[in-house]
């Protein structure tokens, strides 16, 4: 279980946050899309929103809570999030709240392994982070188009204290109100960030002390973070590092270095993740070897091009071996078929 919190934010802060959510919710008729990952921050936002909606009188506009399944989420976190969403929709119906849940996925041709192993995209770096748009942002855009939502408010569990990179992004897209941001490349969407000023301790206070929705099992989330961060003893020095600093997301992520989250989960007994860690470290190493790249780009311009077909074949073989060793579903038959289509097209060149 998560260690004792360093401090317990008082009910005044929670009241201020819920008033902020209430004001934003009632200011217009624009539908709300809430980003949910199953992590501590998005869990806190959904809990606060649920509690706020319980207090709304009169007409209530629809709220859609979305989970973007990239296909390469850390399996434990993905399983927890999916279970939470199934229960959340049922719980919302009990209280007659206008909440629905949706799981979004990129089309097969945009999925991570089809891009890397099929098309030959190099695994992402901090300078070429091609994956975020394709795996997380574009599915939301397609959902809004399918639902014929001309505009929407996207609610996110973003915090200023999260990282220096996060702060820079917030500054680049800020508006006159610090809790609202513009969304890059989407003029018809505004980002609302109700816990922007929260610390990690504030987030855990919301998650562990707010009862409903009970489908979002905060203790399970806390235990997962404790295992992933290799920290959070039962009793902790008040001057120690904050709890729950682990980051969940794609297990294949080669932007975050060294696969720390996977390593820590393995050290806490999740040994089936060992093949995933080996594969992820192999991707990071192989990405930087120029022998694995075409000598020119696809358009013929000078410079490193896609990963070679030889490398891609080895990458698929190793991935299927990792899938067999772990017993986890890492790639679908549909993705494998799409990969072979990409190879066939490149074989003709």
**Domains by residue range for the chain, with CATH:** 1-343 (3.40.50.620)
Ranking 99-103, 235-239, 251-255, 293-297 by mean pLDDT, the lowest is 235-239
Confidence of residue 116 (pLDDT cuts 50, 70, 90): very high
pLDDT higher than 90, residue 93: yes
Say what the pLDDT of residue 41 is: 94
Say what the pLDDT of residue 232 is: 43
Q: Give the mean model confidence (pLDDT) for residues 205-209.
A: 91
Say what the pLDDT of residue 236 is: 32
pLDDT higher than 80, residue 189: no
pLDDT higher than 60, residue 206: yes
Which stretch, 182-186, 196-200, 344-348, has highest mean pLDDT? 196-200
Q: Give the mean model confidence (pLDDT) for residues 130-136.
A: 87
Say what the pLDDT of residue 186 is: 60
9 against 88, higher pLDDT: 88
pLDDT higher than 70, residue 1: no
Confidence of residue 8 (pLDDT cuts 50, 70, 90): very low
Say what the pLDDT of residue 334 is: 97
Say what the pLDDT of residue 166 is: 57
Q: Give the mean model confidence (pLDDT) for residues 313-325.
A: 98
Q: What is the pLDDT of residues 282-295, one digit of tens each?
A: 999 999 899 999 99
Ranking 118-127, 201-210, 240-249 by mean pLDDT, the lowest is 240-249
Confidence of residue 299 (pLDDT cuts 50, 70, 90): confident
Q: Give the mean model confidence (pLDDT) for residues 299-327.
A: 95
pLDDT higher than 60, residue 194: yes
Say what the pLDDT of residue 172 is: 59
Confidence of residue 6 (pLDDT cuts 50, 70, 90): very low
Q: What is the pLDDT of residues 17-58, one digit of tens each?
A: 999 999 999 988 899 999 999 999 999 999 999 999 999 988
Say what the pLDDT of residue 241 is: 37
Q: Give the mean model confidence (pLDDT) for residues 62-73.
A: 94
Confidence of residue 343 (pLDDT cuts 50, 70, 90): very high
Q: Average pLDDT of the chain?
A: 86
Q: What is the pLDDT of residues 215-247, one digit of tens each?
A: 998 888 888 888 776 444 332 333 333 444 556
Confidence of residue 5 (pLDDT cuts 50, 70, 90): very low
Say what the pLDDT of residue 2 is: 38
Ranking 39-48, 67-76, 179-188, 329-338 by mean pLDDT, the lowest is 179-188
Cβ partners under 8 Å of residue 253, min gap 6: 124, 131, 280
Say what the pLDDT of residue 313 is: 98
């Amino acid at each position: 279980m998560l260690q004792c919190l360093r401090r317990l934010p008082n009910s005044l802060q929670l009241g201020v946050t819920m008033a902020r959510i209430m004001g934003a919710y009632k200011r217009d008729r624009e539908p709300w899309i809430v980003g949910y990952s199953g992590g501590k921050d998005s869990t806190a936002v959904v809990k606060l929103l649920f509690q706020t909606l319980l207090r709304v009188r009169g007409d209530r506009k629809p709220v859609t809570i979305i989970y973007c399944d990239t296909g390469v989420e850390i399996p434990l976190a993905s399983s927890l999030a999916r279970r939470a969403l199934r229960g959340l929709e049922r719980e919302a119906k009990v209280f007659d709240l206008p909440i629905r849940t949706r799981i979004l996925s990129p089309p097969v041709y945009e999925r991570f392994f089809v891009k890397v192993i099929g098309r030959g995209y190099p695994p992402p770096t901090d300078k070429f982070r091609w994956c975020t748009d394709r795996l997380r942002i574009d599915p939301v855009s397609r959902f809004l188009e399918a639902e014929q939502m001309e505009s929407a408010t996207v609610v996110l569990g973003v915090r200023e204290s999260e990282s220096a990179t996060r702060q820079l992004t917030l500054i680049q897209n800020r508006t006159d109100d610090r809790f609202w941001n513009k969304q890059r490349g989407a003029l018809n969407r505004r980002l609302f960030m109700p816990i922007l000023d929260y610390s990690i301790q504030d987030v855990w206070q919301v998650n562990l002390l707010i009862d409903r929705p009970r489908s979002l099992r905060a203790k399970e989330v806390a235990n997962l973070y404790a295992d992933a961060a290799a920290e959070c003893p039962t009793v902790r020095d008040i001057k120690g590092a904050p709890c729950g600093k682990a980051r969940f997301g794609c297990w294949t992520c080669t932007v975050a270095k060294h696969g720390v989250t996977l390593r820590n989960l393995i050290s806490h007994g999740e040994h089936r993740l060992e093949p995933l860690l080996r594969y992820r470290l192999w991707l990071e190493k192989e990405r930087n070897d120029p022998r694995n790249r075409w000598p020119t780009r696809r358009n013929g311009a000078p410079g490193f091009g896609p990963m070679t077909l030889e490398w891609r074949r080895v990458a698929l073989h190793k991935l299927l071996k990792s899938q067999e060793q772990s017993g986890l579903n890492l790639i679908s038959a549909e993705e494998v078929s799409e990969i072979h289509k990409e190879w066939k097209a490149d074989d003709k060149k």
